[in-house]
Amino acid sequence: MTAPTKLYLAPSKTCSGQVVLPGSKSIANRALLMAALCDTPTVLTNLLVSDDTRHMRNALAALGVAQQELSDNGRTLQVNGCGGSWTSQPGELFLGNAGTAVRPLTAVLAATIKHSVVITGEPRMLERPLAPLIDALVMGGAEIKSTGEPGYPPVTIAGGLQGGAIQVDGSASSQFISALLMALPLAPNNSVLTLTGTIVSWPYIELTLSMLKVFGIEITQLTENSFEIAGAQRYRSPGEYWIEGDASAASYWLAAGVIGGGPVQVAGAGSQSLQGDVAFAEVLQRMGANIDVQPQHMTAQGVTEQSGQLRGIDVDLNAIPDAAMTLATLALFADGPTRIRNVANWRLKETDRLLAMATELKKVGAEVKLFDDGLLIHPPQQWQHAEIETYNDHRMAMCFALLTFAPVGVTILDPDCCAKTYPEFFTEFSQRCH
């Protein structure tokens, strides 16, 4: 194996400029699949071009969904949907480590596939649990089973989802719920979906419901934790669908604008965003940051505190676990400790993010206490330069870029792992931070 590349970020003092966010990964992969389920073409604009969307596109192409790039950069794409009647019969679909592809495709294929297909991925994907989704699909009549360790990919799917009374545990990932919300309208029978456990990342469920409505799917929320879903529905193309900017990615730029004085304007996500991660702006404001939020953009411009320092905070970030990673590194620049709570599902992401974050924060001199569901972070008394291991996790790489504002700089190992969602991140970051 070749050694991972390294990127040294020299100490920076300022960050300013405008950033146009890439399209949201979560929205892009949902939109690709929903467009594929329509009977008529859909043009997707501001489509994210990344590893995760490539895996979804490749899987849809293998199922017979024609796609035509209408711009040189691939960010405008026409998807010629086939209404869920797949015209090709692949034996296997490889989806890398893309949870936003594996979970919804597993559910949708359980409702639509007419032959047997295996869904598999990279070694880390095979360690990410799928049992709550498998159990719910089996409850609804689907023929699906793990071919390796029970409850994990690879899974073999042979269709058969009928609908009915279905329960799903949403305490590990909201993606299981979103997947069922996308699939159950395609089942022949009506369904009532009941959510159990403590639901994580609820804003992503709301995002899914909003998108489904745009694509012609009607779902009625009966109670806080239950939905009535009519069967035999058809996805209907909106004609054109714009994919808003990645609000999780916005968190890195907002934090950089706070530490580096700004102004940094982040275009593509704001108060009108479907994504819950825009709430990170409120977290920053609680810390004393100067953040302005407009309908489709946000601006960060330093700190409002006379001390010029951020305040450490104690905060529950269950609803925005991706942006919570940015807070973990931003906490190094705060006055006082920061406690991040209720992010136990970090352990089930691209890597065990709780352990990885604690390990890497300690390298730079921070005192870190690791809990089952979060971290307590004391800023460094004395900064230490470190080579940050990224664990093939794009968000580890991007949030630790903030350490360019440390007096000793930082070295990021394998920065190319950002290709999962934001291939140009470090190029753009280096252009704006000095």
Mean pLDDT of 405-413: 98
Percent of the chain at pLDDT above 70?
99
**Domain spans, the chain:** 6-22+245-432, 25-228
State yes or no: 25 annotated in a binding site.
yes
State yes or no: 201 annotated in a binding site.
yes
Sheet with 66-69: list strands edge to edge. Answer: 66-69, 76-80, 42-45, 240-242
Mean predicted lDDT score pLDDT of the chain:
95
State yes or no: 345 annotated in a binding site.
yes
1 has a pLDDT exceeding 50 = no
pLDDT score, position 4:
60
Identical fold, 6-22+245-432 and 25-228? yes
Homologous superfamily assigned to 6-22+245-432: Enolpyruvate transferase domain (3.65.10.10)
pLDDT score, position 420:
87
- Find out whether 322 and 348 touch, Cβ atoms under 8 Å: no
In which band, very low, low, confident or very high, does the pLDDT at 172 lie, cut at 50, 70 and 90? confident
Q: Which residues are catalytic?
A: 322
- What's the CATH code, domain 25-228? 3.65.10.10
- What type of residue is 28? A
pLDDT digits (tens, 9 = 90+) for 363-404: 999 999 999 999 999 999 999 999 999 999 999 999 999 999
pLDDT digits (tens, 9 = 90+) for 326-366: 999 999 999 999 999 999 988 878 789 999 999 999 999 99
pLDDT digits (tens, 9 = 90+) for 180-234: 999 999 999 999 999 999 998 899 999 999 999 999 999 999 999 999 999 999 9
> CA-CA distance, 108 to 86, in Å (whole number)?
11
State yes or no: 420 annotated in a binding site.
yes
State yes or no: 296 annotated in a binding site.
no
pLDDT digits (tens, 9 = 90+) for 254-284: 999 999 999 999 999 999 999 999 999 999 9
